[in-house]
Chain A
């Protein structure tokens, strides 16, 4: 049985690897054959950015079980730090970008630590508001600072991460996903999940809940910062208002739609929700309404009798269940 399980785990890793390689090969073939028009190619980097954002927010929302409404704030820190580095530096592209990514991630992570500290003493509802407030504070600080050029924002950021450098962005995305997946399936990840399930019991088995809450925020903020750096060098201009409440909600919608606590779900939802609005241009006003409806319906559905009914139904049950059989008395 042990062997079987190990084989299965190995198989899972193999499948993941196969998906990654296939996706990359497919992209390369399509790109070099010129089968992707500009509209599609311009989507590649934004999709990767949203994947990183969603997967890292999922660590807080899906695994730690807390709600953060300030993810766009962490992203903006990464974006500004990264952009300021590449604008003011004069070095080869790869050096500048590497430095920007590291610094953007690190500074965002530092703010994750700063935000994580008060969070320790708060429960869910307060935490959501504090993170929301944090996002707003960041925005108004960015507007009032000179170095960030105030409300006008930063311009002429070198375009290092356009669709042309999709290989680099793809690799960074894969690294981010794997890193977070690996954390989830480790002693650290188990500690994080146990806090979500029962924080008092987690304390009682000798795990320092506060430490892990902060750690989760730091890790999540780091990757949001990375996503911010990629964003800055993809669009070339930054405005404080880009990283508002709506952006945080957009990421939350991706996580909720993909399923809280499902990394694969986050990835798929990020692809769909980034591509869909672009392909359905003109319906932009309805997009936000749709997001709102998605949030409400999924929450109501998850806790409704309909889902219970489906679970007990043979055909649909198999779709949802997997590994949830009841043990006989």
Chain B
């Protein structure tokens, strides 16, 4: 059985069928792409998978655990982490604290420990600092961990969001347009980073992206969405040459 098994997922907003009969099966450590024209429902799929919207129908099973009806924070703890198309960082916290916040469920101590500053507090905080800096280092953000998140340039904010998602120790990570607003050099760096985290953190990646260089460069499988339905899937090179896909992007 695959790591993530999604069957017949769908949602309606009022009369509009935003996503219909969406199936996907992602293996451990797989790099999967989700592409399609604007408004096709890609982000909605992410929102369904991460519990932001409850699906109208279908099932989501991660590693044998049924995630239907679970709330967003439970789904994250079950092992699905994500980033957002419009970056959502904790602006007033430092870079380091953004990542440490995401370690909330990994390294714990009680409220009483934090009020009384027990040894458990110091030990756990130290472990958190170490782990957070380790993750930040992957993205080259460790040098600037004391800056406020809102003061980072755009590209670094995107990377910080990925670092934060990674800190929740996910089995699969969903990236919503990670390369948006990046220049070609940054995009190249990003591709290396995605491969690196897949290899070293043992996660599968599902990403939404418009940058075809990135999709063709790293995705092993892709699915194409149009009007909420899958219109093509499989090997990236084949898919992007599929006449149906070209029509979807460019029109008749």
Contacts and interface: CB of A to CB of B under 8 A. Distances in A.
* A touches B in complex, CB < 8 A: yes
Interface of A: 2, 179, 182-183, 185-191, 193-194, 196-198, 200-209, 215, 261, 323-327, 329
A65 to B, nearest CB: 10
A322 B180 CA distance: 31
A206 B153 contact: no
B89 A197 contact: yes
Interface stretch (B7-15, B57-65, B97-105, B228-236): B97-105
B84 A201 contact: yes
B81 A186 contact: no
A261 B90 CA distance: 14
Given A183-B111, A187-B128, A194-B101, 6 more contacts: A193-B93, A193-B97, A200-B72, A205-B168, A208-B71, A327-B156
A207 B104 contact: yes
Interface in B37-64: 50-52
Interface of B: 50-52, 71-74, 76-77, 81-82, 84, 88-93, 97, 100-105, 107-109, 111, 113-117, 121, 124-125, 128-129, 144, 146-148, 151-153, 156, 164-165, 167-168
Given A203-B72, A205-B164, A187 B114 contact: yes
A206 B73 contact: yes
B82 A204 contact: yes
B63 to A, nearest CB: 16
Given A179-B115, A186-B121, A324-B151, A206 B104 contact: yes
Nearest to A261: B92
Given A183-B115, A206-B76, A327-B152, A190 B100 contact: yes
A154 B148 CA distance: 50
Per CB-CB distance, the 8 closest pairs between chain A and chain B, nearest first, are: A186-B114, A206-B76, A197-B90, A203-B72, A201-B88, A205-B102, A206-B77, A190-B101
A275 to B, nearest CB: 29
Contacts of A182: 114-117
A204 B176 CA distance: 13
B114 A183 contact: yes
Given A206-B77, A208-B73, A193 B148 contact: no
A205 B160 CA distance: 13
Given A186-B121, A204-B81, A326 B151 contact: yes
A209 B165 CA distance: 17
Contacts of A208: 71, 73
Contacts of A202: 90, 101
B151 A325 contact: yes
Contacts of A207: 73, 101, 104-105
A201 B83 CA distance: 8
Most chain B CB within a 10 A radius of its CB, from A196, A197, A200, A329:
A197
A182 B89 CA distance: 23
B52 A200 contact: yes
A182 B91 CA distance: 21
11 contacts: A179-B115, A186-B113, A188-B114, A193-B93, A194-B101, A198-B88, A205-B73, A205-B168, A206-B77, A325-B151, A329-B153
Nearest to A13: B117
A325 to B, nearest CB: 7
B91 A197 contact: yes
B168 A206 contact: yes
B11 to A, nearest CB: 17
Nearest to A175: B115
A174 to B, nearest CB: 13
Given A190-B104, A197-B91, A324-B151, A203 B111 contact: no
A198 B89 CA distance: 7
Contacts of A190: 93, 97, 100-101, 104
Contacts of B72: 200, 203-204
A187 B71 contact: no
B28 to A, nearest CB: 20
A205 B50 CA distance: 10
A329 B154 CA distance: 9
Contacts of A188: 111, 114
A208 B153 CA distance: 29
Contacts of A325: 147, 151
Contacts of A209: 73
B104 to A, nearest CB: 5
Nearest to A2: B129
Contacts of A204: 50, 52, 72-73, 76, 81-82, 84, 88, 165
A187 B81 contact: no
Most chain B CB within a 10 A radius of its CB, from A201, A208, A215, A261:
A201
Contacts of B152: 327
B151 A196 contact: no
A201 B73 CA distance: 10
Contact of B105 (A185, A200, A206, A261): A206
A302 B167 CA distance: 34
Contacts of A205: 73, 76, 81, 101-102, 104, 164-165, 167-168
A193 B100 CA distance: 12
A194 B90 contact: yes
B108 A187 contact: yes
Contacts of B71: 203, 208
